[in-house]
Structure 1
Amino acid sequence: MSYCIEERGCFNSLEYRLYFKNSEGQYISPFHDIPLFADEAKNVFNMVVEVPRWTNAKMEIATKEPLNPIKQDVKKGKLRFVANIFPHKGYIWNYGALPQTWEDPQHCDSDTGCKGDNDPIDVCEIGSKVLARGDVVKVKVLGTLALIDEGETDWKIIAINVEDPEAANYNSIDDVRRLKPGYLEATVDWFRRYKVPDGKPENQFAFGGDFKDKDFAINAIGNTHEHWKALVGKEHGTEICCKNISVTSSPFICTEGDAKAVVEVQPASGGSVSLPSEVDRWYYFQKN
């Protein structure tokens, strides 16, 4: 299955949205309508790219909006950009999410002792290619890091695009440690300190910040997939929008016309707003 995207509004603005279409030209939800598995027998997953490597805009699947477009996160009425904490510049991987997964905020994870963060499970894609916002790529999982973000479990899956030139060399988290020395340590450092410039304390990790292996990661993905099935399969009182066009057992399924109407009321694509100069600032902090 192939997918394409349609931009609405100006990039770097509060109105910007990135909608998805399937190969038949139908508007879809990247959260609910793109399958989790690209090849279940081989444990190959679909990843929706939200943030290309080296960029700062905190883009994410809008879980509370109809059709769940990608938009920029907002805090106190302002667009969010991640800070550059020396020596990092922007996101240090292609960052995104696995569709049809959900970290249930009512479920206490038996491994971390914390509840989920109410979002799809996150992916750090480590390949050599800088991917594009809205790309849907097939990835193989290598391991995971368990971030505890303000008391919530926030799994960070480490994966690589199966079509990346380097993909054949990477089959485990140990391969990452061997072939990209320092990258896993930099990943922990990035997640530990990226909120410090906002006046927040350093983030914490389960398992002392150690990475868990491929099998553990795949099991975590499977658990979040089951939570998503429960979410989309019945009426509920959460703010998550489950409108979709393909989950036949879901009470939230809608028509192609309904999906089209969601997009048509959005402003037309209008180029890009210039970035604030603060986005390029480098922050220096002593590591604890």
Structure 2
Amino acid sequence: MVVEVPRWTNAKLEIATKDPLNPIKQDVKKGKLRYVANVFPHKGYIWNYGAIPQTWENPSHVDENTGFGGDNDPIDICDIGSKVCERGEVIKVKVLGTLALIDEGETDWKIIAINIEDPEASHFNDIEDVRRLKPNYLESTVDWFRRYKVPDGKPENQFAFDAEFKNKAFAIDVIKCTHAHWKALVTKKSDGGEINCTNTTVQESPYICKQDEAKAFVNATPPCGPAKSLPGDVDKWYYYQKN
């Protein structure tokens, strides 16, 4: 997985699919950088959150399990390991299961996994191991995804399967399906709209570019400056109970 958001942090970062080479960028909403709210008892993201490369949740493909099209992004993944990873870090993970979030009418799979370098990784082989060894973690994950947009004035998110987690085999099938859609995307067999498929590695892709061209894209981006301090309201807590 590619880590977009380290655990316990609030800045909503993700792979920018419309930009050349798909860098990780922070979301902007109404001209302001976007942060997820702290909905008690959750502080920021409760796992290392990121995406699986070479996957695409195709909006034109109606998922047979959920009845909705994909969200037009790489498939999301939550690493439940103990290490707090760095933004942009690439780690190997063991897939354990998945949750089917329905986000504003789109299928948004959330893969549950653990860093293979975690000291306890050998004890986790399927979703029931998470339920057994990390009590309430799966329930907290559902709670987080259900309520994280409520402070922004949006309704609770919904789930397929009554918010039931599916097992490892099911999750791997979902990943394979989204990988097939990605392969069709980068070989121009599917229309990705504004998605930028420029890459340096997929030989059969018409979007492949040379290393010096890729370097030119990178050099054209603004240099990193000093980090700005977080807005004061990022540490605000929200307390929510459905009436």
Question: Which residue does 2:176 correspond to in 1?
Answer: 222
* TM norm structure 2: 0.98
Q: CA deviation at 1:269?
A: 1.6
Tell me, yes or no, if structure 1 residue 268 matches structure 2 residue 223: yes
CA RMSD of aligned residues (A): 0.9
Aligned to 1:278: 233
1:96 to 47, 50, 54: 50
- Aligned letter for 2:152? D
Deviation at residue 287 of structure 1 after TM alignment: 3.9
- Residues in 1 aligned to 2:203 and 2:23: alpha-carbon distance in whole angstroms: 21
Unaligned runs of 5+ in 2: none
Following superposition, the deviation at residue 205 of structure 1 comes to 0.1
Question: How many corresponding residue pairs?
Answer: 242
1:76 is aligned to: 30
| One-letter amino acid of the counterpart of residue 25, structure 2 | K
- What is the CA–CA distance in structure 2 between the aligned matches of 1:165 and 1:89, rounded to whole Å? 24
Of Structure 1 and Structure 2, which has the larger fraction of its residues in strand?
Answer: 1
Alpha-carbon shift at residue 270 of structure 1 (Å): 1.2
Inter-partner Cα distance in structure 1 for 2:211 and 2:198? 11
Q: Could you tell me whether the CA contact under 8 Å between 2:99 and 2:163 is conserved in 1?
A: yes
Query: 2: CA distance between counterparts of 1:130 and 1:266?
Result: 28
CA distance in 2, matches of 1:67, 1:113: 31
Q: Could you tell me which residue of structure 2 aligns to residue 54 of structure 1?
A: 8
Query: 1:1-288 maps to which residues of 2 (within 5 A)?
Result: 47-234=1-188, 236=191, 238-287=193-242
Aligned residue type for 1:265: A
- Calculate percent identity across the aligned residue pairs: 74
After superposing on structure 2, the runs of 4+ consecutive aligned residues of structure 1 that deviate more than 4 Å are none
1:64 deviation in Å?
A: 0.4
1:168 counterpart letter in structure 2: S
Structure 2 counterpart of 1:209, one-letter code: A
Provide the C-alpha distance between the structure 1 equivalents of 2:188 and 2:100, rounded to a whole number of angstroms. Answer: 29
Aligned AA for 1:239?
E
TM-score when normalising by structure 1: 0.83
For the 8 Å contact 2:185–2:192, the answer to whether it is kept is no
**Gaps spanning 5+ residues in structure 1: where?**
1-46
Query: SS in structure 2 opposite 1:132?
Result: coil
Matched letter for residue 159 of structure 1: A
Give distance in 2, aligned partners of 1:131 and 1:193.
Answer: 24
Deviation at 1:267, TM superposition (A): 1.6
CA 1:138–1:61: 2 relative to 1, 3 Å: same
Distance 2:212 2:135 in 1: 50
Deviation at residue 237 of structure 1 after TM alignment: 5.8
SS, match of residue 104 in structure 1:
coil
- Measured against aligned partners, the alpha-carbon deviations of 1:24-50 in whole angstroms (never above 9, x if no partner) come to xxxxxxxxxxxxxxxxxxxxxxx0000
**What SS does the aligned partner of 1:225 have?**
helix
Question: How far apart, CA to CA, are the structure 2 residues paired with 1:277 and 1:169?
Answer: 40
Q: Which amino acid aligns with 1:286?
A: Q
**Counterpart of 2:79 in structure 1: which amino acid?**
E
- SS of residue in 2 equivalent to 1:147: strand
Change (3 A) 1:114 1:228: same
Shift of 1:58: 0.3
State the Cα distance separating 1:141 from its structure 2 match: 0.4
Give distance in 1, aligned partners of 2:174 and 2:200: 26
The DSSP-based 3-state class of the residue aligned with 1:137 is coil
Deviations 1:202-246 (A, max 9, x none): 000000000000000000000000000000001746100000011
